[in-house]
Amino acid sequence: MIRWLWVAAVTTVLALWGGWACAPGSDVVPMRAPTNGTAADVSWYSMPGPNGSETPVGILRALGDGPHPAILLVTGSEGLNSDYVVFARELTQRGFDVAIGCWFDGGKPVGAADPRIPCERAPVFKGVTDSAVPDLDALVDDARRALGDPDHLALVGFSRGGGIAMLRATTGAPEPVVSIAGMVEGTTAWGEAPGEVDVVARASGIVAPVLILHGTGDALVGVEQAQHLEAALRARGADVVAKYYDGMPHGLAQVRWVRRDMEATITDFLCDRFGCGVPGTAVNTR
C-alpha cells in the first residue's frame, strides 16, 4: 500500500511538471513498478492489449510546461529492459515525453544481473509479421492514453522494433518512424521467425516521415537492409532521412557517443516536423 502511494505521488508530481493537458486519461490505472523498472522518474500503468492480454506502460516526462511532443520506444527482440529507461530519460532531457512498453512478452529476468522488465501478460512474440501489427497498434493506443493523448507522437524502434514500426507504417499509419538498426527485409544473420515479411517490398504504403539510423559494421542486420529501404522511399519521393555510422555494430545505443548523436539527430528530425522548440545539435560522426 505504501509503495502504491509512493508511485501515485511521483505520478502527480510528474503530471504537474509536464502540464495537466498531458495527464493520463481517467481510465488509465496506475500500477506498482515492475522488476527493474523502479526508477523514480518512471510512472507505470497497467494497460489492456489485444485478446485479453495486458502490458505495463512506463511514462517519463520532460520538465517544463507542456504539452510536449511524445515518443514511444519500440523494443527489439530482447524485449523491454532497463536500457530503454536510460534512452527514454535522455530523450526527456531533449524535451520529449516518452513511453516504454511491450508489444510482446520478453520473459522474466533471471538473476540480479538480468536487466529485463517483465511483461508476463503481453502478447507472445511474433516477430516482424502481419499478425504482430495489431499488437503494436494496441501498444500505440495504450501509450497515447497513458501520455494523455499528445498532439504529436513518433515511434522509435530498435532492430525488430524498427522493423515492426516500419511494417505498421506500410498500412498507412501516420506517426513518424525512426528505425534504429531496423530489420526490414524479413531476416537477420541469426535467421528469422516464421512469417516475417520484407517491409521494403511494401514501402509504397508508407506515408509517414522516416528516419533511418544504421551502422555500416552491423553483422546481425546488414546495412544493405537500411540502404534498400532508403532507396525504395526516395524512389517515390517520400519524406526520408538516413544516417549511417561508419564501422558501428548492431547495438548502436551501446556506444555512448553514437547514442548521444542519435538522440540529437532524432530531435532534429522530429522537431523539423513537429515544430517543437530548438533542435538538438548532432556531434561529429567520425
Residue in the structure block whose three cell numbers are 516521415: 209
Q: Does residue 101 surpass a pLDDT of 90?
A: yes
Per-residue burial over 84-97, b = 16 or more CB atoms within 10 Å of its CB, e = otherwise: bbebbebbbebbbb
Average pLDDT score over residue span 90-107: 97
- According to DSSP, the β-strands at 153-158 and 70-74 are parallel
Q: Which of 48, 61, 81, 72 is nearest to 18 (CA)?
A: 61
- Rounded-to-integer distance, Cα 225 and Cα 279, Å: 28
**Which stretch of 5-9, 186-190, 238-242 has the lowest confidence by average pLDDT?**
5-9
Pick the range with the lowest mean pLDDT from 26-40, 199-213, 233-247.
26-40
2 pLDDT higher than 50: no
The mean pLDDT value of the chain amounts to 89
pLDDT at position 50 is 85
pLDDT at 28: 84
What is the Cβ-side half-sphere exposure of residue 55, based on CA atoms within 13 angstroms?
Answer: 31
Report whether pLDDT(15) > 80.
Answer: no
Q: What does the alpha-carbon distance between residue 84 and residue 181 come to, in Å, rounded to a whole number?
A: 15
pLDDT digits (tens, 9 = 90+) for 56-82: 999 999 998 878 999 999 999 999 999
Query: What grid cell was written down for 283?
Result: 556531434
Q: From residue 280, give the alpha-carbon distance in Å to each of 93, 265, 269.
A: 10, 7, 9
Residue 15 DSSP code: H
Q: Give me the pLDDT at residue 49, please.
A: 85
Model confidence pLDDT, tens digit, residues 122-154: 999 999 999 999 999 999 999 999 999 999 999
**Superfamily grouping for domain 2-274:** Alpha/Beta hydrolase fold, catalytic domain (3.40.50.1820)
The percent of residues above 70 in pLDDT, for the chain, comes to: 88
Edge-first strand listing for the sheet containing 153-158: 29-30, 43-48, 54-60, 97-100, 70-74, 153-158, 177-180, 210-215, 240-245
Q: Where are the beta strands (DSSP E) in 65-166?
A: 70-74, 97-100, 153-158
3 state DSSP class of 277: coil
**Pick from 70, 59, 12: nearest CA to 37:** 59
CA distance readout (Å), 75 to 71, 143, 155, 286: 13, 14, 10, 27
Write down the pLDDT at residue 25.
66
pLDDT at 266 over 80: yes
The C-alpha cell at 162 is: 524498427
Total residues belonging to the chain: 286
* Helix (H) or strand (E) segment spanning residue 268: helix 256-274
Residue 22: per-residue pLDDT: 62
* Tens-place pLDDT, residues 44-58: 999 988 888 889 999
Residue reference for cell 516526462: 61
Residue 239 pLDDT: 98
- What is d(CA 44, CA 145) in angstroms, rounded to the nearest whole number? 12
Where exactly are the structural domains of the chain?
A: 2-274
